[in-house]
């Protein structure tokens, strides 16, 4: 079912007068690069150019233009003590009143950015799966919560994600685009093994992780070696997800720790050459 999220179209329908603020130059250390933009109306904003005093200045400039009806002058801002920021760089900003044509361009641009987001498939809508989907929903990812149980998916209230009800989750793995991440934490260890094996056979996955203990790792390693005839497949698996530094088993803690490593792997994927740019894990963190 469609993800529940704020849409740029809703913002533009709600706000009759809007200024587009774009980062046109970013030299040195800056909060955002030249792909950053935001929309400013008299009462709200959509997106961000990095926050802090720079963003407040941009909002003020845009709202002065809205109130006066005059074009806003571009800004070139040094990020130093004089504005209360210590980044040390310099940012150029452009301001453009949003008319119908520009609004259509912005919607198309937003949809392209959304479509380009890396896919993360979370298999299992239980307590940890829900918490993980919630944590990942804050990142620029396309999160899909997958389960074989309709009641569990119906009970999930995580915003900004999609859900997928399927009797064959392994087929979802096969059909996923290159650079996808697969996180496996279903209610059934046998199902976990089936999904994980399918994901590990893909050479273009950004991340394959499974929740588990030392016993589950060892059992899965033996099972995968028998089933696949390729023990090396196991080396690509992250298990347990979220690392072993903390022994805390609360769903929110596991989800927070795992979300960081999944997001890093997903956003590090290099689609240009079709290979996964898998990130180096912290020293001492075993992958397999």
- Please state whether the predicted TM-score (pTM) of the whole model is above 0.85: no
For residue 48, the model assigns a pLDDT of: 92
For residue 177, the model assigns a pLDDT of: 93
Cα end-to-end span (Å), the chain: 35
Mean pLDDT confidence for 138-143? 91
Mean pLDDT for the chain overall: 85
pLDDT in tens, 15-51: 989 999 999 998 888 778 888 999 999 999 999 998 8
For residue 2, the model assigns a pLDDT of: 36
For residue 213, the model assigns a pLDDT of: 85
Q: Give yes or no for residue 151 having a pLDDT over 70.
A: yes
Tokens standing for 135?
A: 């944590």
Q: Give yes or no for residue 287 having a pLDDT over 80.
A: no
CA 171 to chain centre: 23
Which stretches of the chain are DSSP H helices?
8-14, 52-68, 100-115, 127-136, 150-155, 169-175, 189-200, 214-228, 251-267
């Amino acid at each position: 079912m469609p993800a529940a999220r704020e849409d740029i179209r809703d913002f533009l329908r709600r706000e009759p007068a809007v200024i587009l603020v774009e980062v046109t130059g970013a030299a040195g250390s800056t909060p955002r690069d030249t792909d950053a933009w935001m929309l400013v109306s008299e009462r709200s904003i959509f997106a961000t150019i990095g926050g802090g005093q720079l963003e407040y200045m941009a909002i003020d400039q845009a709202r002065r233009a809205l109130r006066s009806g005059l074009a806003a002058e571009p800004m070139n801002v040094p990020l130093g003590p004089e504005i209360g920021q210590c980044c040390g760089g310099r940012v150029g900003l452009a301001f453009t009143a949003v008319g119908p044509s520009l609004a259509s361009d912005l919607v198309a641009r937003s949809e392209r950015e959304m479509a380009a987001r890396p896919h993360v498939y979370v298999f299992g809508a239980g307590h940890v799966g829900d918490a993980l989907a919630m944590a990942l929903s804050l990142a620029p990812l396309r999160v899909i919560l997958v389960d074989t149980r309709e009641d569990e998916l119906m009970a999930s209230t995580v915003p900004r994600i999609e859900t997928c009800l399927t009797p064959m989750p392994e087929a979802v793995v096969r059909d996923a685009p290159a650079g996808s991440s697969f996180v496996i934490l279903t209610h059934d260890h046998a199902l976990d093994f089936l999904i994980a094996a399918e994901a590990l056979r893909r050479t273009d996955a950004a991340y394959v992780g499974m929740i588990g203990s030392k016993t589950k790792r060892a059992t899965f390693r033996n099972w995968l070696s028998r089933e696949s005839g390729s023990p090396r497949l196991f080396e690509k698996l992250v298990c347990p997800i979220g690392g072993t530094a903390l022994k805390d088993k609360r769903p929110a803690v596991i989800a927070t720790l795992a979300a960081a490593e999944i997001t890093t792997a997903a956003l590090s994927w290099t689609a240009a050459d079709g290979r996964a740019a898998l990130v180096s894990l912290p020293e001492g963190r075993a992958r397999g």
